[in-house]
Structures are given as structure tokens and as C-alpha cells.
Amino acid sequence: MSITAKTKLLAVIGDPVGHSLSPIMHNGWIADHGLDAVYVALPLRSDDPESAMRALGQFGVKGLNVTVPHKEAAARVAGVAGAINVMCWSEEGALTGFNTDGLGFMHALSEAAPDWRMRVKRVLIVGAGGAGRGIAQALSPHVDTVHIVNRTFARAEEAVAGISNARALKWEDLERGFGAADLIVQATILGMEGHAAPDWPVGLCRAGAIVADIVYRPLETDLLCAARARGLLVIDGLGMLIHQGALAFELWFGIRPDIAKARERLLAALAP
Ligand code: NAP
């Protein structure tokens, strides 16, 4: 499909976005469905990201994915509480905002561990950033307890406020948290390329625990490698990336895209 004056524009905005796999994923789906649209990555480094997002809406952008560090600013622009990762403009220019991170993680979890509801009562989420919070909210109604451990304890306390079965843990309690959980979700930047991971206390995990890492560069993080060596079920970050993206695509185009095709394309893009 050639690009014309009618072609719809979509983008991921954040800082940095040069590493983002979202253009490959969404342009693949756009081609699958013969849509007249194009998806690009726009780095946004600004003291006033809200004005930039409003301007993109004025330019007639159809939809945005929003990533670190602008998810809270996006929520303010869309007039919703918390943090969002999807913005959607109607033909008339009306904006709606959504957060598909939590549900995207749930879909990835169900895909990788279809019996997780029988296995998981106690969850440990490492990280109280936008992603960790979204996952905590999505998991909370389906489990007994959600513990959130974060380097900055005050942020963990903020994250558990309003989630009745969630408790904040101090970083010193990481080992205790690992030992008690049936599902551990690593949702910080630790282990990402360029961000060394600590020596995660995987030796303390319960037999039968599920270990998920939402980092996807590299796909096999040190945490997943250690958990796999212990024989635990591991879930990498690609599933969440694809499922949160599929939910966004459906919000923009009303079409449910092909998950397996996206996985193939992204694995090819991630291959060394
Ligand atoms: P965020 O809101 O900026 O949160 C960053 C988190 O990392 C915070 O909990 C922060 O703790 C922690 N952190 C940063 N540096 C640390 C360090 N040196 N030691 C310990 N903790 C540290 O980011 P986010 O949106 O939640 O994203 C977090 C990670 O998830 C990123 O790697 C992102 O790429 C990944 N992610 C993946 C998907 C997916 O689809 N697979 C989706 C969203 C995000 P403090 O509060 O103490 O700073």
C-alpha cells in the first residue's frame, strides 16, 4: 500500500523509542489487513510532553502507544487517572485513553500457563512503575495476595493503595518475597540490555512457582535463565508486548490481529 495524503498515522512515543519493536509489530498487522496506515517511532524528550501529545492529536494522528516516561502525562491529557499506554482519536478528534499493559500481561500469562489460576495464590511483583502497577491491578481480583517490592519503598506504598489484597515490601525483603510467591513478575528495568541485574534469589523459589520477566531485550534475562535452570515455568516479555499491542490495534482498527504472526516477526527481529 503506498503512502498518500489519506494515510493514517500511528506512533509510539517515549524516550528512548529507538529500540521499540512496536513499529515492526503494528506495520506487520497493518499489511496483513491491507489498511491505509503507517506506524512510526517518535522520540519525545520534552519538559512539556502534554502539549506535544495534544499537538499530535491536532495533526490528525489516529493513535499512539505511550511508553516510559510519558504514561502519566498521557493519562492527564486523556483525562483519566493513573498511567495509560494507548491513545485513540476518533474521526471527529475526540480522544480516549486506555491501559492495555495489565490485560496484555494476563493474556500472555494465560497463553504460557493455561492452568495458572489453579496454581497461583500469592504473587510477587518486582517493580512499582507503570507496568508493575498495571499488572498488580489486573492480577489482584484473581489471587489471594499481591506483594509489590520496589527499590523506592514509597512508590511501592503508592502502588498498593486502593488494591485491597496488595501489600508493599521493602527491597531488603526481596528474598522473603521470592520464597513465598507462586508467581513472580519482574517489572523493573533490571536485566534489560545495559542494566545489570542483581543476583536474584531464585534458589528460594517454591517448587512449581512461575517466573515471568516483562523485559524482552534480551528475551532470556538472567532471572529467566536461573529460573529455567531450576526447572520452573518461565514466561518472557514478548507475550505481554504482543498482547498489549494486539489490544491497542483492536482499539484503533476494530480488528483482532494475528498473535502468532507477530511473534514470528518479532523473534526474527530479535535474533542476533
Ligand atoms: P517505569 O514506570 O519507569 O518504572 C521503572 C521501574 O524500574 C521502577 O520500579 C523503578 O524503581 C525500577 N528501577 C529502575 N532502576 C532500578 C534499579 N537500578 N534498581 C532497582 N529498580 C530499578 O517503567 P515501566 O513502564 O514500569 O517499565 C518497566 C520495565 O518493563 C521496562 O524494562 C520496560 O521496557 C518493560 N515493559 C515491558 C512491557 C512488555 O510489553 N513486555 C510493557 C511495559 C514495560 P524506582 O521506583 O525505585 O525508581
Beta partners for residue 148, in sequence order: 125, 168
- So what's the pLDDT on residue 66? 97
Instruction: Establish whether residue 168 lines the binding site of ligand 1, counting it when its CB lies within 6 angstroms of any ligand atom.
Output: no
pLDDT digits (tens, 9 = 90+) for 51-62: 999 999 999 999
Pocket of ligand 1 contains residue 132 by CB under 6 Å: yes
Q: How far apart are CA 14 and CA 41, in angstroms?
A: 8
Tens of pLDDT, residue by residue over 154-212, are 999 999 998 999 999 999 999 999 999 999 999 999 999 899 999 999 999 999 999 99
Closest alpha carbon to 44 in 13, 69, 72, 65: 13
Does the Cβ of 235 fall within 6 Å of ligand 1? no
Residue 228 has what pLDDT?
Answer: 98
- The predicted model gives 13-34 an average pLDDT of 96
Residues sharing a CB contact under 8 Å with residue 249, sequence separation 6 or more, in sequence order:
26, 29, 255, 256, 257
Question: What pLDDT sits at residue 162?
Answer: 87
pLDDT in tens, 116-159: 999 999 999 999 998 999 999 999 999 999 999 999 999 999 99
Instruction: Encode pLDDT of 86-100 as tens digits.
Output: 999 999 999 999 999
pLDDT value of position 1: 72
Cα 189 to middle of ligand 1, angstroms: 4
User: What pLDDT, on a 0 to 100 scale, did the predictor assign at position 126?
Assistant: 98
Share of the chain above pLDDT 70, in %: 100
The whole-angstrom separation of Cα 191 and Cα 186 is: 9
Share of residues in the chain with pLDDT > 90 (%): 95
pLDDT for the residue 272: 80
Q: How far apart are CA 163 and CA 139, in angstroms?
A: 10
| Cα–ligand 1 centroid distance for 182 (angstroms) | 21
Measuring from atom 40 of ligand 1, which residue has the nearest CA?
241
> Which residues make Cβ contacts (< 8 Å) with residue 121, sequence separation at least 6?
143, 144, 145, 182
> For 30-37, what is the mean pLDDT?
98
Which residues are catalytically annotated? 71
Report CA(249)–ligand 1 centroid distance (Å).
23
Q: Which atom number of ligand 1 is nearest to the Cα of residue 243?
A: 40
Which of 12, 151, 160 has most ligand 1 atoms within 8 Å of its beta carbon, as the pocket-test mutant?
151
Answer yes or no: is pLDDT of 81 > 90: no
Among 15-19, 27-31, 106-110, whose mean pLDDT is lowest? 15-19
Indicate if ligand 1 lies below 6 Å from the C-beta of 127. yes
Q: What is the pLDDT of residue 64?
A: 98
CA of 215 to the centre of ligand 1 (A): 9
